[in-house]
Chains A and B, each alone.
Chain A
């Protein structure tokens, strides 16, 4: 299935392992949050360049202190109607300051791509014969947004008042 990074078809050789790192190098696998935390707590190993896959019920705060060791976070959408992944993404990007790859996997459909991008996903695994074209079209449908989010869009509230003193923090 095509992996898109910033809307461009790309590839990734890591494979998901639900049984921890095993003998694999950290850079070859994607592990569960549980495996990652186990690894962090064993002072012996403490890998770097780790990739973690979060389930919707996982608490991203548990990663917050170790984000330096993480180069990829996958967030799973078991069903596209399960919107918890959007909160996870916003937390990782805006609260915990995660800057590396954030990838949506699972049931990723065209009409959620724009929400995903706004929430901070820079990569998606998206199945479509013209994945790049559809992605570009989908994320371009709305040219402005009322809210600030984890993308670089400036909220309409602010765009209407360039230079105005913010009332939101007083």
Chain B
């Protein structure tokens, strides 16, 4: 895991000091809210329904025990003993007082963290695959490049007042678990025809009110050229992105209005015009230095299967079911990655208490080399666990209330905070998620259904990624009443697609029964138990599912 050197440390400290001054000027009235707003936003501070909200960056979702304990301490001291993990692999605290913010930033800096550029019209926290460095299918670990991009984009003088926020995601080249095709820029590590590893560059994806799947602007760019190429894209966007209407200001609109070919040629022209002085120079030794932080741990030679685990699974049905849903394959034999669900029935998706954070930190230190990730599904991941240790990890997670056996299943719901916290919301998200969880709480039923991604947003801004859920749910406001539109067929992986709205919105209380009918229809129509919901939907089209959705009315 990357550790700050003196430069990183200094900058984060200086930034905290700078923000302290800004908060003081705001509290004294010297700085009007209008001028303070973009400054607090670039430090992750939002003004929400009830209080200020602080969004802390977790670069590419990477945590370790020390950082997670630091977050737990902040939750205890300045908030209500919990935090909310987001779809951008960050964490949000909902109840911090503005006066306390500078101190919180200092405490974050103590554990090598910050809230820099977690909001505002700048380059946001770069996101990645939570299984990076552990997944068997990746071409290469994407995290060193995430870190390089983090550094390059931090306080970039040219790109701090973009037309709109800007999100970059990097995937390691296997199955896309970072949703790179629905980001402003998505990067995918891949080999060119000579076998050299570089990046495919995808641009113009995004959700929100006008969802788009990104287009490939470059099949392949070499590693040394990457940052210069990103500068070319950013400059084209900064100069030509729309600033007359904030709803049309994202790069996806620019790509769409110019057309893919014109956009690409603008970027290529800009890239070709860069002179020696303008190129971003990244010494190879510096790349090596950063890569070294992400070197895989020394894995013990172990057989691919563990008789201890197999036996424990035979004896313990709960462990067996949890292992079936929450273990993920690992590149090293005898190891596994574990998805730790933050979606127990009846809780707010993505929330973790400070005690749970500390428990996770302890478990990670003991069994996973201290390596903890945040997944964009708002779950946590332990990346390098020996199969032998799985029963012990399960027991420890159970004690902490973190052993929910629903990884990737219908009750592992992505949901934004919605009307309970967010001042933009049209409808509640959390309670509708809970009603769906309750409807599918029978483990046998959920097992039968298999993988199914269900995403909920409380308004068109789509923080809950409803467009890319196999089933998506969008809260809308109809004459002061909450309604929910249902979308079918979205996906966030390498076959990214935007879900289609099925029809008129349903009432809060009608959503869960309607989805039960949809799922029953799937179970009766699937060609075999192996055919997943999304596969069946793609084979059969929306019609039978839409029909089931509205069957009661």
Per-position contact with A for B282-322: 1 when CB-CB < 8 Å, else 0?
11111101000000000000000000000000000000000
Cβ-based interface call for B277 (8 A): yes
Contact call A111/B39, Cβ cutoff below 8 A = yes
Per-position contact with B for A113-154: 1 when CB-CB < 8 Å, else 0?
011101100000000000000000000011111111100000
Nearest CB on A from B36, distance (A): 9
Given known A82-B243, A142-B11, A157-B286, contact A147–B152 (CB-CB < 8 A): yes
Nearest CB on B from A30, distance (A): 22
Cβ-based interface call for B77 (8 A): no
Cβ-based interface call for A10 (8 A): no
Cβ-based interface call for B224 (8 A): yes
The residues of A that contact B239 with a CB separation of less than 8 Å are 84, 87
Q: Is the interface of A mostly helix, strand, loop or mixed?
A: loop
Contact call A164/B238, Cβ cutoff below 8 A = no
Contact call B286/A145, Cβ cutoff below 8 A = no
How many angstroms between the C-alpha atoms of A118 and B159 in the bound complex? 12
Nearest CB on B from A64, distance (A): 11
How many angstroms between the C-alpha atoms of A149 and B155 in the bound complex? 11
Cβ-based interface call for B276 (8 A): yes
Cβ-based interface call for A95 (8 A): yes
Count A-side interface residues using an 8 Å CB cutoff.
41
Choose, from B13-21, B209-217, B383-391, the stretch at the interface.
B13-21
Question: Nearest residue in A to B157 (C-beta to C-beta)?
Answer: A118
Contact call A167/B284, Cβ cutoff below 8 A = yes
The residues of A that contact B280 with a CB separation of less than 8 Å are 147-148, 155, 157, 168
How many angstroms between the C-alpha atoms of A140 and B38 in the bound complex? 20
The residues of A that contact B223 with a CB separation of less than 8 Å are 167
How many angstroms between the C-alpha atoms of A145 and B239 in the bound complex? 23
Question: Nearest residue in A to B36 (C-beta to C-beta)?
Answer: A111
**Residue from the list B22, B235, B273, B283 in contact with A167, Cβ < 8 A:** B283
Cβ-based interface call for B278 (8 A): yes
Contact call A160/B282, Cβ cutoff below 8 A = no
Nearest CB on B from A129, distance (A): 12
**Residue from the list A81, A87, A146 in contact with B38, Cβ < 8 A:** A81
Residues of B within 8 A of A (CB): 5, 7, 10-11, 14-15, 17-18, 22, 35, 38-39, 121, 151-152, 154-163, 223-225, 227-228, 235, 238-239, 243, 273-287, 289
Residues of A within 8 A of B (CB): 80-84, 86-87, 90, 94-95, 109, 111-112, 114-116, 118-119, 141-149, 155-161, 164-170
